Amino acid sequence: MKIAVLSDIHGNYTALEKCIEYAGEQNISTFLFLGDYLGELPYPQITMGILYSMMKKYSCHFVKGNKEDYWTGYKNSGEQGWRETDSATGSLFYTYHNLTPKDLEFFEKLPPSRELCFEGLPPLTICHGSPEKVNEKLLPECENTFSIMDASPNAYILCGHTHIQGLIEHNGKFVLNAGSVGIPLQSHGKSQFMILKGTDGIWEPEFVSLDYDVEKVIGELSSSGLNEKAPSWSKISAHLLRTGEVSHGDILQRAMELCTAATGKCIWPDIPEVCWEQAINEMIGD
């Protein structure tokens, strides 16, 4: 048996299509989607259309990520706090206002984690961050990761969120991180996902990296106008798409440090654009 495991699409429908095409060439008909379907990149309605189409054609299983919590939380809080043109929240605002009621209903119904069973094979726990929290990172050589693995009733935990593919083994249990379809780290600009192969009562991962039309995706940041709504955030996205290096979170942290140094305090999302620009110049030179 083969299963495709895809996480952290972040609206990169071009990369998603490439991954689905590759999985189809392997005769895969079961897909696990581990959250963060939108965010960072434009035309979210195209990504959602692909996912809805997949649900009709294949056996698909979904869990929610932290981004899905953002969209539903924003809706339930009265749509307060995000600005249309702002590097901290412009991308969030853009994506949210391109969602349909169907999309929000879909996100609201997603479980944070779930167990899946396939005949003759060990059960799988699937989640975005960890089985306990959608925004928790299961990192190698981390005692918290080992504690979560020890507490898991299942030997296999499938996750994403870190945007880095990898395998963690501890006391006969495994964390398998599928990486990121849309904006992977340490990928050299390639899209990434995982194929899980089940044979003789065990699961074996195949970590896949694929070339796709990165420049098309970067061009759409401009053609959609998203680079004007979230200028610095979009610069980080473009650099990350090309290189697979330096995350949004790392540059956000530096921008907040610069903001604190300049003003005495910094509370997200109130980060001056000049701080974003300085952080980008320091960390990626763009």
What pLDDT does residue 99 have?
Answer: 98
Average pLDDT over residues 114-132: 97
Above 70 in pLDDT, residue 286? no
Sorted by where each begins, the domain ranges of the chain are 2-210, 228-283
pLDDT band at 232 (very low <50, low <70, confident <90, very high): very high
Q: What are 35-61's pLDDT values in tens digits?
A: 999 999 999 999 999 999 999 999 999
Average pLDDT over residues 87-93: 98
Three-state SS for the chain is CEEEEECCCCCCHHHHHHHHHHHHHCCCCEEEECCCCCCCCCCHHHHHHHHHHHHHHCEEEECCCHHHHHHHHHHHCCCCCCCCCCCCCHHHHHHHCCCCHHHHHHHHHCCCEEEECCCCCCCEEEECCCCCCCCCCCCCCCHHHHHHHHHCCCCEEEECCCCCCEEEEECCEEEEECCCCCCCCCCCCCEEEEEEEEECCEEEEEEEEECCCHHHHHHHHHHCCHHHHCHHHHHHHHHHHHHCCCCHHHHHHHHHHHHHHHHCCCCCCCCCHHHHHHHHHHHCCC
What is the topology classification, in CATH, of domain 2-210? Purple Acid Phosphatase; chain A, domain 2 (3.60.21)
Q: Which of 60-64, 66-70, 199-203, 209-213 has the lowest mean pLDDT?
A: 199-203
Q: What are 210-231's pLDDT values in tens digits?
A: 999 999 999 999 999 999 999 9
pLDDT band at 242 (very low <50, low <70, confident <90, very high): very high
Above 90 in pLDDT, residue 253? yes
pLDDT band at 18 (very low <50, low <70, confident <90, very high): very high
Average pLDDT value over all residues in the chain: 97
pTM of the model: 0.97
